[in-house]
Amino acid sequence: MFSLLLAIGLILGACGSSEEGGEAGGDTNEKEEKEQTSGEGNGDFSVAMVTDVGGVDDKSFNQSAWEGLQAFGEEHGLSKGEGFDYAQSESDADYTTNINRLVRQDYNLIFGIGYLLQPAIEEVAAQYPDTKFSVVDSVAKGDNVASVTFKEHQGSFLAGVAAAKKTKTNKIGFVGGVDGDLINKFEAGYVAGAKSVNPDIDVDVQYAESFAAADKGKLIASNMYSKGIDVIYHASGATGNGVFAQAKDLKKNNPDEDYWVIGVDRDQYEEGAIEDTNVTLTSMVKRVDIAVQDVANQAKQGEFPGGKVLEYGLDDDAISIARTNEEALNEEIIAAVEDWKEKIVNGDVEVPSNRDDLKTYVDSL
């Protein structure tokens, strides 16, 4: 009896070892299969972006970038969370955390949207040389980083032309987000364009020191409009929502007065809609969506421009002036914008991109 029980125990032990070995082998095969079907192993490609504090629905810069990723996804039959996605940043401290999280999720290409993310992109890219990164609106170091920039000063120059031709008070305003090299390009171009039309025009420049402070944007706009300014160009992300809100509030109470806003980054015509009128004069459209989709496609095709700086401007239609508000933009304004655009593209006019160059330009008028 003892011998029989011992034999049965040995047989069961052997069967158990066989089953455990099969299960372990199954885990290994499953892991190998997962590795083969992720990333670029079988031709799949995934891409994600990290927003700045303005958020993915800021109706401006981040939203335009997200629309570019969505277009990329639609082009390749992908869906949110299955091929492309975004990570929202609530504060500056979230940038590095979000980028690292997307790296761990094995995204092949990760965008940092906005120049504020440049340090975080550089830091993480250096740690993960096999992952591709791109920063929009700044230049970052790294052979695995593509830097996407725009000639915003060119489009802002045309916005200044439109503002100078539209104003009835010869007083126009500029609301910037954070005072720095990037937004100074918008400011310099805008002032140069307006002064080119009328050297004596008064341009009030103020900064909210935030891209996510709609209340501050509303307050600045209120002060500007109260001083007789009738056109305000904002380059301030979600802060600009406050500029639109103030213009619409004033227009509702004083329908016969002019309270114009020039949008930024994307056509913000819808943001200025109130009842049967619209306070959006035009928008300086910066096709962040086109740039994001373009870089994503290059990466997917194995032609990622790592270590390069890509610059988009008027000559490749990545910068333009929106014409959606046909009632506000009369033929005279459109003709003036087209005339100055031709001069810029042909090289007859060198648009200043900082305050020092702006002073030199204005002094030469």
Q: What is the mean pLDDT of the chain?
A: 89
Q: Is the pLDDT of residue 8 over 70?
A: no
Asked, colleague to colleague, whether 47-150 and 152-286+330-363 share their fold, the answer is yes
Topology of domain 152-286+330-363, CATH: Rossmann fold (3.40.50)
What is the tens place of the pLDDT at every residue in 160-203? 999 999 999 999 999 999 999 999 999 999 999 999 999 999 99
Read off φ and ψ for residue 14, nearest 5 degrees.
Answer: -65, -40
The per-residue pLDDT for 252 is 97
CA distance 209 to 205: 12
The per-residue pLDDT for 316 is 80
Q: What is the pTM of this model?
A: 0.78
Three-state SS for 110-146 is: EEEECHHHHHHHHHHHHHCCCCEEEEECCCCCCCCEE
The per-residue pLDDT for 332 is 96
Q: Is the pLDDT of residue 2 over 80?
A: no
The per-residue pLDDT for 79 is 95
Architecture of domain 47-150: 3-Layer(aba) Sandwich (3.40)
What is the tens place of the pLDDT at every residue in 11-42? 444 444 333 333 333 333 333 333 333 333 33
Q: Structural domain boundaries of the chain?
A: 47-150, 152-286+330-363
Sequence-distant (≥ 6) Cβ neighbours of residue 54 within 8 angstroms: 60, 61, 62, 114, 211, 212, 237, 238
